[in-house]
Amino acid sequence: MITLRKHVLPSILAVILLSTAACTSETAAGTPSGSASSKSAKSAGAAPRAAVKQLEPVSTVDARAVLDAFKSRDMTVHLKALQSIADANGDTRASGTSGYEESARYIEDQLRAAGYSPVRQTFSFKGEGRGKPKVESFNILADTQGSAERTVVVGAHLDSVKDGPGIDDNGSGVAAVLETARWMKEAGITPANRVRFAFWGGEEDGLYGSQHYVDSLSKAEIGQTASYLNVDMVASPNGVRSVHDGDGTDYGHAGPAGSKAIEDILFRYFKENSLPAETTPFDGGSDYDAFLSAGIPGGGLFTGDQKKKTQAQAQTYGGEAGKHLDPCYHQACDTIANTNPDLLKEMSGALAYAAVAYAMGKPL
């Protein structure tokens, strides 16, 4: 998650990102069938808006059963793997580094073992510092079966900041998406609508990977993208369970039509499991931004970064009032010790529940 989260509204952020977008991009052969990734990203203007084919989510799995399933899964195995990769690569997994490449190989191996066929979507962006060297990076995409005319994208950014291993931010989100993909295969779920699992690069440098993906979509393909579910930091050590405010009733920044339904399905999971949760604003700074700017319904999960836990939140969720939700945000200490494994399982179950509801959703 980039630091802009607290300071920039989505519409403003989109303009900034588009004005600094990468000047070249290309896509590796073997992009998932039906993907718009066969052409380079647009260099001028925002991704085209289109009438999105909205879905009504259908709950075909029991929320309590999903939580029980994720409580029994070893979610930390992925965090340990990413930590080991960072340890062996200068304590970072930032885009353009060997740590990012090894992180990607780990994810690809896990996806292939689960029965998916992951592919890379390459792009580049200007790096920091004098001369602004070009950074080569890529997204990882993996599809389920189901109608490509109603595609549900489930994503998390794979990269860390340069100053740390990024285990909460965002190894936790990566683990949630990966385990959702694995669990759906193991549970024998056959989606009516295609689910595309995405692991974004270049997020910490400026949301480049997700922006590239959306910019690569044609107007028709944007219209076929029914929803986007985002997970960015879901194991904060002093965290809270929060869901993005899809209709803007709490924070004033609503997502496109259909975003409220995503908020509702996530809150249904928490309610049925008697887990308190609250809303968090769509205020820029994560990979949902490009999707919202293109008119695609969005939503997702978040457990907190630099904000301090209030007394009311401490009474509701436990933890320490007056302390940061993630005291190691964007620091070298964002290691496995900086995560809450129980919270990770609860939030991952919420993602899986919503992903299935949209995978089986009915067109409106």
Residues near 145 by beta carbon (within 8 Å), at least 6 away in sequence = 190, 191, 194
Residue type, 253: H
* CA separation for the pair 11, 15 (Å, rounded): 7
**φ and ψ of 134, to 5 deg:** -75, 135
Tokens at residue 194, please? 């295609």
The residue annotated as part of the active site, out of 102, 108, 179, 203, is: 203
- Return the residue matching tokens 């457990």: 303
Output the DSSP codes for 61-101.
Answer: S-HHHHHHHHHTS-THHHHHHHHHHHHTTTT---TTSHHHH
Kind and range of the H or E element at 298? strand 298-302
Active site residue 108: no
| SS3 (DSSP) at 354 | helix
Of residues 28, 322, 344, 19, the one with CA closest to residue 175: 344
CA distances from 58 to 55, 149, 334, 350 (A): 9, 17, 37, 14
* CA dihedral for 114, 154, 202, 211, sign (positive or negative): positive
Annotated catalytic residues are 203
